[in-house]
Structure 1
Amino acid sequence: MHFLTEELSFPNTNESSPDGLLAIGGDLSTERLLLAYENGIFPWFEDGDPIMWWSPRERMVLFLEELIVSHSMRNVINKDVFQVTFNKAFREVIQHCQSVKREGQYGTWITDEMIESYCKLNKLGKAMSVEVWQNNTLVGGLYGVDMFPVFCGESMFSKVSNASKMAFISLVNYLKSNQYNLLDCQIYNDHLDSLGCREIPREDFLSYLR
C-alpha cells in the first residue's frame, strides 16, 4: 500500500492489496479525481479517516444490454409514477446520498469535502446526476463520474420504493442512447447483481476505460 504525496500520481493498480486498497492520502482536487477515474481508481473512506483510494481486482459493472428490469418494475414505469431529470439537482442528490440511512452502516463515506469536490466535477461536465421526482419532490436519484465511454456510478438513494431503481434504469437508457458501452458499479452487492451487473477482472475493466 502506498502513501500519496502532493505529487499528482498514483501507483500501478496491480499494486493494490487483495481487498483493493491501493493508496492513502493525497487530496480530492479535480485534477487528482480525474486522474484516479482515468486509471480505474476511486476514493472511499469514512468521515474522519484519511483519504483511501481503491482499485478492486474484480470490478462490478453493467454491460448495458444486460440490464434486468423486473415485471413489477415495468409496471411502475408504465404507470408514470415518477418523473426523471438529469443534472437538475446534482448537489441535492449527493446530499441525499450522504444522509440516507443504510442497513449495517453507521456513518457515511460521502464527506462534506467530497460533496464540494464532486460538485466541481459536475460544473466541469465530468459528473452527472439523475433525479427522480414524485409530485415535485425529489424522492430518489444517483450520481457518478463521466469517463466516456464508461460512466462510473458512485451512489444512489431512495426515499420511496423503486425510486433508485427508476434512476438506475433511466441512467442505463441514457447511456445506451449516447453510445456509452459500460456502467461501472465498483463493488459487488446483491442489489446490483439483481439488476444484471457482474464482476469482470480489473484488466478487462481498464481496457474499456482506455
Structure 2
Amino acid sequence: MHPRPNPQLTPELLLHAYAQGVFPMAEARDDPEIFWVDPRRRGILAPDEFHISRSLARRMRRGGFEVGADSDFEGVLKGCADRPETWINATIFDLYLELHRRGFAHSVEIRQDGRLVGGVYGVALGGAFFGESMFSRTRDASKLALAWLVDRLRLGGFSLLDAQFLTPHLASLGFKEVPRAGYRKLLARALGSGGDFHLAGPPAPAQDVLQRSAQTS
C-alpha cells in the first residue's frame, strides 16, 4: 500500500485506479492519508454463481422490508462509515458521493417501516462492479441488499463483482479467491463489456430474484 496526498485524488484518478485493479483506503475515519491497495489475492464473484442459502431464501420470502436502488446513496455511505473502525474518511466519503452524482457509484438499500436498516454500495465500470462496503442494522439486512445487488448485476450484463477480500461469509455465498494475475485477466474482460446498473428497472419481487438465482447457480 502506498500513501498518496489527498489533493491529487480526484474522481477521474479514482476511476483510473479501479480500471487498473487498485482501490483506496484510509487507516481510520480521522486519518487524512489515503492508501492504494492492490491485494495479492482477490475475493470475486461471477453473478451467475451467487448462492442464496435456505435461511436467506426464507427471509426473502417472509418479506417485511422494502428494497431500493440508488434511492439513498448517501444514507448507505453513512451507514457503512458508522462503525467504531472504518476506512472511510472525509476525502473518500466526498469522492464516492461525487462518483454517484456522475453515475458511476450505486447503492442498494433495505428499509423496514421506512427506516434504512441495511445496504451495499460500489462502483460500476463496464461489466465490472467493485463492491466497496455494506452495513446492517437488523439481522440479514446486508445479505438482502447483496442478493438484490447481484440480481441487478446479472440482469444488467455485469460479469464480475469484486468484493476485494474474501471472508468465510462471502465464500458461503459463492464468492471465491483468485490471485492478482487471474483477477487482472477477469477485470480486463469485464471492462471490455457493457454493464447497466439500471437496466433491471425497479427492484424485483423476492420470488423473481430467487427464481433467477436458482436458474443460474
Look up the SS of the partner of 2:68 in the other structure. Answer: strand
Is 1:56 aligned to 2:39, yes or no? yes
The answer for the alignment partner of 1:184 in structure 2 is 162
What's the offset of the Cα at 1:49?
A: 5.5
Within a 5 Å distance, the mapping from 1:10-29 to structure 2 comes to 21=1, 23-27=2-6, 28-29=9-10
Give the letter aligned to residue 41 of structure 1: V
Look up the SS of the partner of 1:207 in the other structure. Answer: helix
Structure 1 gaps of 5+ residues are: 1-20, 102-106
Structure 2 gaps of 5+ residues are: 189-217
- Does the 8 Å CA contact 2:120/2:145 hold for their aligned counterparts? yes
- Does the 8 Å CA contact 1:154/1:185 hold for their aligned counterparts? yes
Within a 5 Å distance, the mapping from 1:160-199 to structure 2 comes to 160-199=138-177
The answer for the alignment partner of 1:99 in structure 2 is 82
Give the letter aligned to residue 114 of structure 1: I
The answer for the alignment partner of 1:18 in structure 2 is none
Within a 5 Å distance, the mapping from 1:106-121 to structure 2 comes to 107-121=85-99
The answer for the alignment partner of 2:25 in structure 1 is 44
Q: How many pairs align?
A: 184
CA distance in structure 2 between the partners assigned to 1:26 and 1:183 by the alignment: 29
CA distance in structure 2 between the partners assigned to 1:148 and 1:130 by the alignment: 19
- Does the 8 Å CA contact 2:32/2:89 hold for their aligned counterparts? no
Match of 2:100 among 122, 134, 139: 122
- Does the 8 Å CA contact 2:32/2:91 hold for their aligned counterparts? no
The answer for the alignment partner of 2:119 in structure 1 is 141
Q: CA RMSD in A?
A: 1.3
CA distance in structure 2 between the partners assigned to 1:111 and 1:67 by the alignment: 31
CA distance in structure 1 between the partners assigned to 2:16 and 2:35 by the alignment: 15
What's the offset of the Cα at 1:78?
A: 1.0
Give the letter aligned to residue 68 of structure 1: H
CA distance in structure 2 between the partners assigned to 1:65 and 1:172 by the alignment: 8
Misfit runs of 4+, over 4 Å: none
Q: Percent identity?
A: 38
TM-score (norm 1): 0.84
Deviation string 1:105-158 (CA, Å, 9 cap, x unpaired) is: xx2111122111100000111100110011111000011011121100000000
**Which structure dedicates a bigger proportion of its chain to helix?**
2
The answer for the alignment partner of 1:159 in structure 2 is 137
What's the offset of the Cα at 1:50?
A: 2.0
What's the offset of the Cα at 1:162?
A: 0.6
CA distance in structure 2 between the partners assigned to 1:178 and 1:49 by the alignment: 36
CA distance in structure 2 between the partners assigned to 1:189 and 1:26 by the alignment: 30
Larger displacement relative to structure 2 (62-71 or 124-133):
62-71
CA distance in structure 2 between the partners assigned to 1:168 and 1:116 by the alignment: 23
